[in-house]
A = this chain, B = another copy of it.
Amino acid sequence: MEKKMSVMIRSAWIITVMIVLFTPNLFVNGGEWKPSWSSRAAEEAEAVAAIRCSGHGRAYLDGLVLHGHQPVCECNPCYGGSDCSEFQSDCVANAGSGDPLFLEPFWMKHAASSAVLVSGWHRMSYIYSDGSYISELLVDHIKKLHDIVGNAKADGKYIIFGAGSTQLLNAAVYALSPNSSSEPAKVVATSPYYSVYRTATELFNSRDYKYEGDTSLWKNNSDDSSTFIEFVTSPNNPDGKLTTAVLQGSNVKTIYDRAYYWPHFIAIPTAADEDLMVFTISKLTGHAGSRFGWAIIKDADVYERMSRYLTLNTQGVSRDAQLRALKLLNVVLEGEGRELFEFGYTTMRDRWIRLKNVLSKSKRFSLQKLSPQYCSFFQRTKDPSPAYGWLKCEREEDKDCYAVLSAAEIDGRPGSTFSADDRYVRLSLIRSQDDFEILINKLKKLVAE
């Protein structure tokens, strides 16, 4: 009897040990997959992501782990301290650059689906398997996205990649300029416009094209001998208007900068179908730092010339940036883009409403007039949700509106930056929530004066 019992005891213990030793997976997160060579990278990334920075900053992988020192929080403007918990009330509200950090919370929420693990041997070659510098899979994703959003007709057209729209804008100017012509093409834009059209065109000081100022100077010009290249930003930066080309004629080529033509910022009336359209993920997913954009091109020769430019300028776009863009667009396409655009639109609309309300308390300032429009993507009428406030100082004496705002500790972009009157200032509404809150508070004070 005793013997039988002790056998049972022993067997109980043996079973215990057997279970423990030979079926560990039974207890591993319910039999979940276990990483091998990828675990170091995954652990690094999660360790960095776990650094909260009080919600007023963030730590980055290239800010610390590799350096082997203590984690470093990179704080939002006006926040300081090792954990970004110290608010500096006397600091200047940053409403300057169009840094699209308003979308950062979306990506933090989609951590699992948007993460990419890049192996050490990923795409070392200059070329993809088809011999090009361009990921055809990414081209497919881009076409699918335009199809879903209905903001551009991409089927049957050429698509080329660039380091953000910046590189593509100049590549387009090069491609549209006449070959070895006696007279350089005249590059023009309509004020107020994005200053890079002028500065980048002037930088290269080419014999093939020359910046020739505002379209208004050439509107009633009957010069058919020279080629005109007109930049059209639609929706426009800074004022958010859905602009169209001013110049017409067989000698006029148009570059449509469609950076802001997404449901975040505007009600999409119809799919754009211009000869040359430029897009960027900077204002779509918010990844300005990745430097990835694309152009949709109708004409084969223009495509060939832009390809040549991209090849000789940078040998295409970083394959790492292309992989990242692919992963991000993949997340956007989940659920037909509704989640990203709902988030983007709601955020921008709410910011616009709050900005308008604050300024409505005074006659001293005015904003661009925007009205609700029907959006073919959301299939409903949408309130305005522009990327920027185009603020005007109405008082006779406030000729330098930038100075007026600076005195109130608000840093915007002066009108002259957009070849416009300095009575105007552009206020960026697409930055972090912290930056926006600080802007609103400083404006409240200013308006209350």
Contact = CB atoms under 8 A, between A and B. Distances in A.
A249 interface: no
Contacts of A15: 16
Contacts of A191: none
Contact size range, A:
35 or more
Contacts of A313: 163, 166-167, 170, 200, 203, 313
Contacts of A28: 24, 27-29, 34
A100 B124 contact: yes
**How many copies of this chain sit in the oligomeric assembly?**
2
Chain A contact residues, majority secondary structure: helix
13 contacts: A35-B35, A37-B46, A41-B117, A107-B121, A111-B121, A114-B121, A124-B286, A125-B288, A163-B163, A163-B317, A164-B314, A205-B207, A289-B319
Interface stretch (A54-62, A231-239, A294-302, A378-386): A54-62
A62 B135 contact: yes
Interface of A: 1-2, 5-6, 8-9, 12-13, 15-16, 19-20, 24, 27-29, 32-46, 48-49, 58, 60-63, 66-67, 74, 97, 99-101, 103-104, 107-108, 110-127, 129, 135, 137-138, 140, 162-164, 166-167, 170, 174, 196, 199-200, 203-208, 286-292, 308-309, 312-324, 326-328, 330-331
B315 A318 contact: no
Given A62-B137, A118-B324, A309 B203 contact: yes
Contacts of A44: 117
A136 to B, nearest CB: 10
A136 B167 CA distance: 24
Contacts of A48: 119
Which 10 pairs across A and B sit closest by C-beta, in order of nearness?
Answer: A114-B120, A107-B120, A5-B5, A163-B314, A45-B117, A289-B319, A41-B115, A38-B42, A37-B111, A16-B16
Contacts of A120: 107-108, 110-111, 113-115, 327-328, 331
Nearest to A282: B126
Contacts of A208: 205
A166 B313 CA distance: 6
Given A99-B125, A199-B312, A290-B318, A29 B20 contact: no
A416 B55 CA distance: 60
Nearest to A128: B74
Contacts of A331: 120
A103 B124 CA distance: 9
Contact of A129 (B1, B74, B205, B309): B74
Contacts of A125: 99, 101, 288-289
Interface centre among A317, A321, A326 (most CB of B within 10 A): A321
A125 B19 CA distance: 51
